[in-house]
Structure 1
Amino acid sequence: MRNATIRQLQIFSVAATHLSFARAAEKLHLTHAAISLQIKQLEEVFGAALFDRIGKRVFLTEAGQILLDHARQILQSLKEADESLMALKGLKGGRVAIAVTSTAEYFAPGLLAEFRRAQADVRVRLLVNNREEVNRLLISNEVDLAIMGRPPVGLEAQAVSFAPHPLVIIAAADHPLAGRARISSDELADETMIVREAGSGTRSAMEEFFLQRAIKPRIDMEMGSNEAIKQAVVAGLGISFISQHTLGLELSVGRLVVLKVEGTPVMRRWFLVRHKSKRLTPALGVFWDFVLASAPEYLKRFA
């Protein structure tokens, strides 16, 4: 591998991540032929096929997966070295790649805006996805850190709780339970529930809430989007268990209400997570400290 170039590793990493030479060409502003040539040369250097080509699709071979893991580490190390040298020279700036779960997308952009006002020279890349994909991005070292409701299981991670995360049960403003000052959890057994997909942090918290009370909820709809769930509840299709941090607009205009159910809000925590092997570059360190110091107060706006 001593004869492999950094550029070849960059091209290979993009092609392997997207499993598409065409997509790699588009992202790197190269021709499809140039991507194919660089991959072929890298396979010659490596002495093994890195992709299986079946029809128009490509798949990573075992050798390709091994190389991808190491290529990502090499490229990340180079990025960190570059930022450390910039800091040594007294240069400002740096880059931070952040992944947030879809529930955190309601407050993350505003939090980043406050950070950028204080650190205008730091470039920030924000990725919003479901919990499973955020876990993958952390494990594969494609992002520097994540904001999520539960630290990933099985990942050697440093996870720091930084703010409370209330989960509530919502209904349309004209729902029969909407005006009640006290609602027992048993009364929810006959209500139609609209819920997040299996595996999401919100869904897991909901299942735990009902399991503790020996209630089997009537799940009528399953959706992968908080926005879709809120619109379905507004339309009167059912009630839902959801993060209070997603509800600012709908509550303020009276389209949704939080039901006063015994045992709610269910309190969880927001976590800032990074891989244990992830070294704090100057830019990453500044952002890490900013979230821990500023996010608790910022999130009070969503209470």
Structure 2
Amino acid sequence: MRYTLRQLEVFLATAHFENITQAAESISLSQSAASEALKGLEKQFDIQLFDRIGKRLQLNELGRLLRPKAEALIERAHDLEDAFRQHKDIGALKVGATLSIGNYLAVNIMAEFMRLHPEAEVSLQVANTTTIANKISNFELDIGLVEGELHRPELDVIPWRDDELCVFCAPSHPLAKKSSLNDDDLLSAAWIMRESGSGTRQAFDWAMHGLLPELNISLELQHTEAIKRAVEAGLGIGCLSSITLEDAFKRGSLIRLEVPHRNFQRQFYFIMHKDKFRSAGVDKWLELCQSSV
């Protein structure tokens, strides 16, 4: 295309005011920039659109012929700009979340988001931290909500909210009678744990520094509910996010075990690709997540 919308705007403003200075002011350009734009348009097509009468620029016959076509094109361009703005408000949003966050936090956030923005198209994928990070890196997801810390140069990792892991067992388990556990207790137990690559397992491994090689990890499962059922059945003790255990603790089907000398504090994070455009939908999602804390 050999002309620009800005050149057409200058042409139309000049046709309206018949004065380049006033035309430039009306579209927030300097007089020299407007003059150059008009001269460039005429030079590109070897035409003259105005008769110059003193300081006035009066449309000539060719200018009068082309003016309605230019008006129509500019109007369509404004309509397209408005359409872009409307779709920019929300649009489609692809969210990824780790299992604990996805099953216990993200679904409720998504329901509230869709209530506030009924026109939004939101999808939620639930997987472990490594899988979500890979999908963000490959531009398959717009934003991720993860439990584990990540150090990837292509990702922005933004702290969201605090969390705590809890060690737990069935009420019938021998350790349920103890007021707190020491390292010998931790080494004596059979553990039912999340798989490697999950944020929960990463935080657990850090908390158990010094003991990890000697721990008896008897079973690794990919789903928190499966771990809870296995612990309820007396197969061992577990360690999961506190948000996944609240209902079980209230019912008494599981018992929290105190391990005061080990640090089970951690954070949840937002992750986004540094090079991906941050849409209005992503910003609104972040605002809603922050307000839910």
TM-score bucket of the superposed structures, by smaller chain: 0.5 to 0.7
Cα distance, 1:155–1:125 mapped onto 2, change above 3 Å: farther
Stretch of structure 1 that moved more, 172-181 or 123-132? 172-181
Match of 2:246 in 1: 248
Q: CA deviation at 1:262?
A: 2.0
Cα distance per residue 1:49-73 (max 9 Å; x no partner): xxxxxxxxxxxxxxxxxxxxxxxxx
| Alignment partner of 2:85 out of 88, 98, 123 | 88
The CA RMSD measured in Å over matched residues stands at 2.3
Q: Write the distance in 2 (CA, Å) between the matches of 1:91 and 1:134.
A: 25
Paired AA for residue 111 in structure 2: A
Within the alignment, does 1:104 sit opposite 2:129 as a pair? Answer: no
Q: CA deviation at 1:116?
A: 2.1
Q: Write the distance in 2 (CA, Å) between the matches of 1:250 and 1:89.
A: 45
Contact 2:195 2:201 (C-alpha < 8 Å) held by counterparts: yes
Q: Write the distance in 2 (CA, Å) between the matches of 1:161 and 1:180.
A: 35
Q: CA deviation at 1:213?
A: 5.1
The alignment of Structure 1 onto Structure 2 pairs a total of residues equal to 213
Match of 1:187 in 2: 185
Stretch of structure 1 that moved more, 144-153 or 176-185? 176-185
TM-score by length of 1: 0.65
- Identity percentage over the alignment? 27
- SS of 2:207's equivalent? helix
- SS of 1:121's equivalent? coil
Paired AA for residue 269 in structure 2: F
Structure 2: runs of 5 or more not aligned: 1-79
Match of 1:43 in 2: none
| Alignment partner of 1:174 out of 155, 172, 190 | 172
Match of 1:196 in 2: 194
Contact 1:168 1:265 (C-alpha < 8 Å) held by counterparts: no
TM-score by length of 2: 0.67
Contact 1:144 1:284 (C-alpha < 8 Å) held by counterparts: yes
Runs of 4+ in 1 over 3 A off after TM superposition: 83-87, 89-93, 212-215
Q: CA deviation at 1:235?
A: 0.1
- SS of 2:209's equivalent? helix
Q: CA deviation at 1:284?
A: 1.7
Report matched runs for 1:37-56 at 5 Å.
Answer: none
Cα distance, 1:243–1:86 mapped onto 2, change above 3 Å: farther
Q: Write the distance in 1 (CA, Å) between the matches of 2:81 and 2:193.
A: 45
